[in-house]
Structure 1
Amino acid sequence: MFKGLSNLASMMKQAQEIQGKMGEMQESLKSVHVEGEAGAGMVKVVVNGQQQVVSCQIEPSVLESGDREMLEELFVSAANQALDKSREAASSKMSELTEGMNFPGLQDALSNFTQK
């Protein structure tokens, strides 16, 4: 019986450690920047590790073409590529955070957290 309590106490301690590290990790994800591009680099979108668009660069020739539909498609493509990279980076950081901790279902729960 007491062995079970010891395991529970250990798990609670690990959970508290994770909670503290999660806050630090979320803050550090602001400084992670990844880039997506489309149209051979004519449109570039930079996203941080919190899946927030940080910047967008559009080649002047795309604007001058007047093809709004093409520009919209290029932007969406570049943004989606950057967001995918951002989720991968956040997931990787999450894996580093939980390395060596054995909580059933923890990885699934944390990957859902990074996709929000």
Structure 2
Amino acid sequence: MAKGGFPGMGGNMNSLMKQAQKFQQQMEEMQKDLGDKRFEASVGGGAVTAIANGKRQLVDVKIKPEVIDPDDVEMLQDLIMSACNEALKKAEDETSSEMGKLTGGFNMPGMF
């Protein structure tokens, strides 16, 4: 067996470990950066706005008072749900895009 490696590995184990550590650091930095980002979506001509972060958590919902109609609660519920889903979709898309850049397109299940 070659010094510092395993048969069939084609390289130095120390080099592989350094690459893994670098990848882990890049992953942690990316997760922090994404967690700090905000993704906003408005529906109903701006009647409802939802804001999510890169951790795919809803952080704010804004509703214009004029869209609050006690006789049409279902419409407001639909607007809220649509705005939240759109904001979360934007966060998911950005996360996937950033992950693809980091992994070179290699899909790693369970990472996000």
Q: TM-score range by the shorter chain?
A: 0.7 to 0.9
Q: CA deviation at 1:5?
A: 4.2
Q: Any gaps of 5 or more consecutive residues in structure 2?
A: 3-7
Match for 1:26 among 31, 39, 54? 31
**Counterpart in 1 of 2:111?**
113
Count the aligned residue pairs: 106
RCO higher in 1 or 2 (8 Å CA, sep ≥ 6)?
A: 1
Residues in 2 aligned to 1:30 and 1:4: alpha-carbon distance in whole angstroms: 36
Deviating more after overlay: 87-96 vs 51-60:
87-96
After TM superposition, the score normalised by the length of structure 2 is 0.79
Q: What value does the CA root-mean-square deviation take over the aligned residues?
A: 2.2
Q: Any gaps of 5 or more consecutive residues in structure 1?
A: 100-105
Residues in 2 aligned to 1:50 and 1:22: alpha-carbon distance in whole angstroms: 13
C-alpha spacing 1:6/1:41, structure 2 compared with 1 (3 Å): same
**Counterpart in 2 of 1:13?**
18
Name the one with the larger helix percent: 1
Deviations 1:92-114 (A, max 9, x none): 22123234xxxxxx73215x422
Identity within the alignment, %: 39
Larger CA Rg, structure 1 vs 2: 2
